[in-house]
Structure 1
Amino acid sequence: MTSLQPPSTPVVPASLPLLDTEVLRTFVAIAESGSFTRAAAQVFRTPSALSMQIKRLEETLGKTLFLREARQVRLTPDGEVLLSYGRRLLKLNEEAVTQFLLPSLCGTVRLGTSDDIGTRILPGVLAQFARSHPATQVDVVIGRSIDMTERLDAGELDLIVITAGNTGQEEGRGKIVHTEALVWAGREGGIAAMKTPLPVSLANAGCTWRNMALKSLDQAAVDYRIAYTSESCSGQAAAMIADLAVAPFPACMVKPPLRKLGKEYGLPPLGDYQILLVQRQGAEDTCNTLAGHVIDALQGLR
């Protein structure tokens, strides 16, 4: 009889080699820049030193990672696979080191912001803060700028990011952290902007955008009517998308199917508005750290 042999299995070394973090950093730099020379400037080494690192890495893995051409280097299929792993390993290494070397903040920080600001920056701000300070709880409140100011004064919030000029309450307080243009917006190809009186969608009384829009229309003697009101940007956008009204909107938030409207419709310019960051007096380090992430995010909107 012929005896049945079990299927052969790959032989796995008792101890697999470990990938060096610095070599991975070099590999990723070369892959992303497409050049040993540019990567060398980024990691402060000579191109020849990088070449030796990559040679040892290829020998360790038994794979060719780069195709070297006259003016650039390209990843091989194996190199593309390693690039994905390399980015994740470097990110994980960064998070692990951050966990132990940065201050171990804990507790709760309470952040208040208006709808237009929150929708643009909160995802990135919260993700960044959670990575560096996972033990800190963040309570977020979305609402009108005037309400956020009142809650800060009542001790219910630690940090607010609001539109400046809503009330006199914020005068002389906080820090202007962002300035951007306010423009008229409406539906692409729509007819709302051609109607008389002009149908306008606004927030309720006290909103800076509302005040700027009404003042501008009155000074230009434009015949208008307030057709819709909504405290949220999505509500105002809904009226514009339905071609039922035009509205004052931040220029960077005007995206299809909306478009900017201007002199061709007889609409007066609105000018710029500012975003203000105010912290509660005596707020802890957690608040200062979160405030820094907010400022970075707003500067990235430019």
Structure 2
Amino acid sequence: MQREQLADFLRRRREAIRPAEVGIHDGPRRRTSGLRREEVAMLAGMSVDYVVRLEQGRSSQPSIQLLGALARALRLSEDERAHLFHLAGHRPPPAEEMARLARAGLVRLLDLLGDTPALVLSDLGEVLAQNRAAVLLMNGDHTGMDGDRRYLVYRWFTDPAVRATHPPEEREHQGRQLVADLRAVAGRRSGDPVVTGLIERLQAASADFRRLWAEHEVGVRRADRKTLMHPRVGPVRMDCETLVTPDQGQLLLVLTPADAEARDRMELLRVLGSQEFPTGQMTS
């Protein structure tokens, strides 16, 4: 572990990020253009004391989990993230694990979207990052799931509570879209054991999935309209726009109100959320 180099790298990256880039309001009394240590601690979900010790070269070796949280909080690029792991004395995660970390450029877009709900997803529907507005709209942080539950398509066909987040008249359409999208991924990643294993487990778990899979519909999701049944504000009708990375490995999903009623309900949700989250807090 290269403590001095790690401390210098973390300090310089913190100082290089403007608060507005991570959704934090820049007040008139701020004496530095970068983030404060307590803001990094908040974004990374760790104590301020530990951030201080890291920057002063006095910490024990940080875990891989802590490094991942710091990389997200500091909006590190893929090369910067690998450098961070090397300085901390860890081998960077394998390529398949790195693919499950949201790209820094997409995370910055989440920050810039502010009160517009947005998520970074893998091509298999894993939520890799989401902004605060998306946490409120989706009634929780969906980035911490593991096993097959991290895949939206798996949750949809195996958990009735997930399907209940959509009105009955939209569920067939939503299921078809998820299966058609998975079919496109399976074609693009032919022979990938992660994809083939997921499909096999879905076929074993759900007759509804088997029915739709047998129809061999293919379609990458790009734009859609859906209604989310929110437990606090009721149904919220949203337009969904998808931006895909060039390698099609990750995508940015942006949700905007489809009508005036949805705008009003999103505004109410923001008011309710502001009573629960400190100003500037976000999840990613």
TM-score range, shorter chain: under 0.3
Structure-1-length-normalised TM-score: 0.23
Structure-2-length-normalised TM-score: 0.25
Normalized per residue, which structure has more strand?
1
